[in-house]
Chain A
């Protein structure tokens, strides 16, 4: 058993029904872009693989690449972000479509944000309903009329995609506030290179290493005007934040200071950091602190993480915040459904990457479709958040659906409907079972938008739902990750 080649373990591999499996086609054959990898894996024994898995885990643990657990002080409860040694592979042709789609989306959302905080043309033209925007609670009144350097709001995006059973990629969410996870992409790659070095010699895998350099260039491109040698910093909530590893990692790789709110002060609308030799002016802040904690003078007064007066300095144009405050208005769930229209409105193009299709019940045709197919759809009120008021058609009773039908008909504007999406699966090494099994995965892609520049990290964080059948990929709920290879050709 122990000397059995891995290939045999795949023999019992049973893909889920009605899901797209990334590695195996429906007839059970290995998809072409996985051929080389599959052959190489076949040369390993199960014991080799187990040892490799243990070594990799230990390396993560010792490096302190650990996640969450706020009771750290009590000790012992630190966990690594589980990492799977079977990489996800994205062929060059698929990637080039994804990359174009991400860039298109970033530019459109940026124009949307600028419009929302200036002329609001898109609302006046009724392409996006105004009350949708103003009722979201994410519209930031301190941003009205402000012109960020270079006109850029969403410098850093973490876009979540899934692959549906039809084999197509769909955007699930645009994260343009403080997206996290990029350090795991780089750490996963390092782990793969040291663990399975011969895999890389066989494949043309795009580099993920340039990210910190691109990030620094991006944030420097939006330095306040007339600053010769801008000083940039990373602002972290502190060592007890679950993403602190990432904050320190990025600061170190960019060669800039990692500061906490208490290290900064605002004087005469300029921001300074407190150094051992006195004050030093700060020009650019890559902040990993949420909007509402940034400045206790304008947002939450109880915030200990922010800097009093920071927003005044920002509005005076003396410091750049990355991302700009108020971007949350463009990545919430209700606005998401309008992104195809937003792209069409500003760029005059069709969206390259699909949204999850959405039917707006206020439109007569959509309403007709929704009422005829309720049992297959997910039904949602547009103005509720946190999953409140959602009905999942296939799981609902006849009575529930009838009751929902009455509600929709009473106020069709309030409701939208979406198909039930399935996440693709990927062969994943399951420690407890000592074999490879299919697990659901998604994909978070990191991209940058600066003044006259953009960049998409060629790779991504493939998050894995490690529990059998689970769709929940979050690290706090038993999610892991995979190195993600974008092939160069």
Chain B
């Protein structure tokens, strides 16, 4: 396979995953805050949406504008709309490698998002829009699973999906931890608010129901952190993402070069680290753990680029 095509497939996976997480985060964060038990909600929600999406907006920008920038602004490379456009551009570059069904689903998704009317986004269309984005990414992922050969084409897409998902889970967790810290700072000992924020964190990673089932207890900061970092069976935990990255890279590289400095080596090392790390070791300063993991994932991405995707 051409290195450029592999690059297209990998980034197609990453942008699809990014779109899905951004949409879910905005949906959960915005709509659940409407009846949340604390004050200055609107300001806090907007700050947290901007932090998660890394999009900038002027201080005191009206809510409509912030939501527009995050969801629909074509000129902003970090918006949901751009993310979907990039996914489609990359799919086009690898058009002859993927199934007609997968391509058509991505193409329809692109047309849906790019032609969505900006007027009335906040007042009328936003919930439906975000819900559609989540649903269509889910359909597209179904096409990836069910209509492609599970060969290296598939593995490059899936590697991109897994890596991006790990980044997104880290980013969402960081953002919510900051929210919690800010609330504690302004109103110490506000346990209900902390619980509320932790529930939002789990919902934004689609982990609320499963963590409840796993712990058989209401969500807590500690459990949520452990669940999203180390649970090997939950598909949106960091460790599970790295496990899948390992599986996909082995399909891409059947030669199994696992020497020092290779992508395979770096993934193996990170995985071992995660598998033997415990919640007790990170709960005092989860942010440091998340930063460090994110840094390692960046280096894996760079190595991936150098070994397989450079052209």
Contact = CB atoms under 8 A, between A and B. Distances in A.
Contacts of B93: 239
Contacts of B111: 61-62
A73 B92 CA distance: 13
A172 to B, nearest CB: 32
B244 interface: no
Contact of A63 (B6, B92, B100, B114): B100
In this complex, the member of B4, B85, B108 whose beta carbon has the largest number of chain A beta carbons within 10 angstroms is: B4
A263 B92 contact: no
Contacts of A244: 92
B47 interface: no
A348 interface: no
A406 to B, nearest CB: 56
Interface in A381-421: none
A436 to B, nearest CB: 30
B3 A274 contact: yes
A154 to B, nearest CB: 25
B311 A75 contact: no
Nearest to B311: A274
Contact of B4 (A62, A251, A262): A262
A64 B108 CA distance: 9
Nearest to B107: A64
B252 to A, nearest CB: 7
Given A64-B104, A75-B114, A273 B85 contact: no
A364 interface: no
A260 B93 CA distance: 10
Contact of A275 (B2, B85, B92, B95): B2
A263 B7 CA distance: 12
B2 A257 contact: yes
Interface in A423-450: none
A258 B98 CA distance: 12
A11 interface: no
A62 B1 contact: no
Contact of A274 (B4, B89, B108, B114): B4
A1 interface: no
A42 to B, nearest CB: 34
Interface in A55-112: 61-64, 73-76
Nearest to A73: B85
A194 to B, nearest CB: 13
Nearest to B98: A252
A276 interface: yes
B contact residues, range: 20 to 34
Interface string B1-16: 1111110000000000
Contacts of B6: 276
Given A74-B74, A239-B93, A262-B311, A273 B2 contact: yes
Interface string B145-177: 000000010000000000000000000000000
Nearest to B7: A276
Nearest to A248: B95
A259 interface: yes
B25 interface: no
B107 A263 contact: no
Contacts of B115: 75-76
Contact of B104 (A63, A248, A251): A63
Contacts of B59: none
A68 B95 CA distance: 17
B1 A275 contact: yes
B103 interface: yes
Contacts of B5: 257-258
A298 to B, nearest CB: 23
Interface string A448-462: 000000000000000
Given A263-B2, A276-B252, A276-B308, A75 B104 contact: no
A244 B104 CA distance: 16
B221 to A, nearest CB: 42
A249 B98 CA distance: 11
Nearest to B115: A76
B285 interface: no
Contacts of B85: 73, 75
Contacts of B96: 248-249, 251-252, 257-258
Given A62-B108, A64-B103, A75-B74, A252 B3 contact: no
Interface of B: 1-6, 74, 85, 89, 92-93, 95-96, 100, 103-104, 107-108, 111, 114-115, 152, 252, 308-309, 311
8 contacts: A62-B108, A64-B92, A75-B115, A258-B5, A258-B95, A274-B3, A275-B1, A275-B2
